[in-house]
Amino acid sequence: MVAGMPQGSFGWRKAGQKGAQESCHTPLAAGAADLDSHSVKRSRSSLVHQVTYAINHPGKIAPHLRRLARDTWFRMHARDHISYYRAVMRSDTARDPEGAVGSHTHKRWLELGRMQFDYLVEHGLKPECRMLEIGCGNLRAGRLFIDYLHTGNYYGIDISPDILMAAQDTLVRHGLADKLPHLTPVRDMRFAFLPAEHFDVVHAHSVFSHSPLDVIEECFAHVGRVMKPGAWFDFTFDRTEGREHQVLREDFYYRTETLATLAEQYGFTATFMDDWERGPHKQSKMRLRKP
User: What is the predicted pLDDT for the residue at 52?
Assistant: 66
* C-beta of residue 254 within 8 angstroms of C-beta of residue 239: yes
Q: Could you state, in order of their start, the residue ranges of all structural domains in the chain?
A: 13-289
User: What is the predicted pLDDT for the residue at 5?
Assistant: 37
- Domain 13-289 is in which class? alpha beta
Give the global pTM: 0.81
User: What is the predicted pLDDT for the residue at 249?
Assistant: 82
The closest of 272, 267, 274, 271 to 290, measured between CA atoms, is 267
Cis peptide before 25 (omega within 30 of 0): yes
User: What is the predicted pLDDT for the residue at 231?
Assistant: 99
User: What is the predicted pLDDT for the residue at 99?
Assistant: 86
| DSSP code at position 79 | S
* C-beta of residue 257 within 8 angstroms of C-beta of residue 6: yes
Q: Tell me the torsion sign for CA atoms 93, 116, 211, 275.
A: negative
Per-residue pLDDT of the chain in tens (291 residues, 90 and over written 9): 333 333 333 455 666 543 434 446 443 333 323 333 456 555 555 555 555 655 665 666 677 788 788 888 888 888 899 999 899 999 999 999 998 888 889 999 999 999 999 999 999 999 999 999 999 999 999 999 999 999 999 999 999 999 999 999 999 999 999 999 999 999 999 999 999 999 999 999 999 999 999 999 999 999 999 999 999 999 999 999 999 999 888 899 999 999 999 999 999 999 999 999 988 888 999 999 999
Secondary structure of 4-46 in HEC code, one letter for each residue: CCCCCCCCCEECCCCCCECCCCCECCCCCCCCCCCCECCCCCC
User: How far, in Å, are 22, 232, 233 from residue 269 at the CA level?
Assistant: 11, 9, 10
